Amino acid sequence: MAKNCRFAVATHICALLAMGDGQPVTSDWIAGSVNTNPVVVRRLLSALAKAGLVSSIRGSAGGSVLAQPAGRISLAHIHRAVDEEEGPALHNQTPNQACPVGRGIQPVLVRIIDRAEAAKEAVLATTMLSEVVAAIRAEAG
């Protein structure tokens, strides 16, 4: 799954589990909601479990549940669980160092991208899964 989709799908999964009120939800059911393959869901559930956000219940009535209350899970927790840091997206090849723009562009972009990432992290860290669930319920009317 593309990096830019993992966070959105993982948040979708966690919101489903939060709305399940502690009842186990199967990966097949989650996959139907997300509209993806259950294998993709299982991989993300594994990453979320490794981070301590989700736990699995085995057996015929099994499935996945949140490992802690939605009010204690921030979107930053979910993001860190499923998105490995790859660093800023810069040029594929080193720009021409004889050019003043080529020589200076990457350090400037790194500083800007670092600030943007810090702002994103701050918003995700202060947004709880319970807020997402409440907004979803409000949208449903």
* 62 in a structural domain: yes
* Helix orientation angle between 75-82 and 129-140, rounded to the nearest 10 degrees: 110
- Counting the structural domains of the chain, the total is 1
Question: Does residue 109 lie within any of the structural domains?
Answer: no
53 in any annotated domain: yes
43 falls in which pLDDT band (50, 70, 90)? very high
Domain span at residue 52 reads: 3-88+129-140
Banded pLDDT at 2 (limits 50, 70, 90) = low
Instruction: Return the H-helix or E-strand segment holding 75.
Output: helix 75-82
CATH number, domain of 38, equals: 1.10.10.10
The model's pLDDT over 52-87, given as tens digits with 9 standing for 90+, comes to 999 999 888 889 999 999 999 999 999 999 987 666
Residue 103 within a domain: no
Residue 106 belongs to a domain = no
Residue-wise pLDDT for 92-110, tens only, equals 788 889 998 999 999 999 9
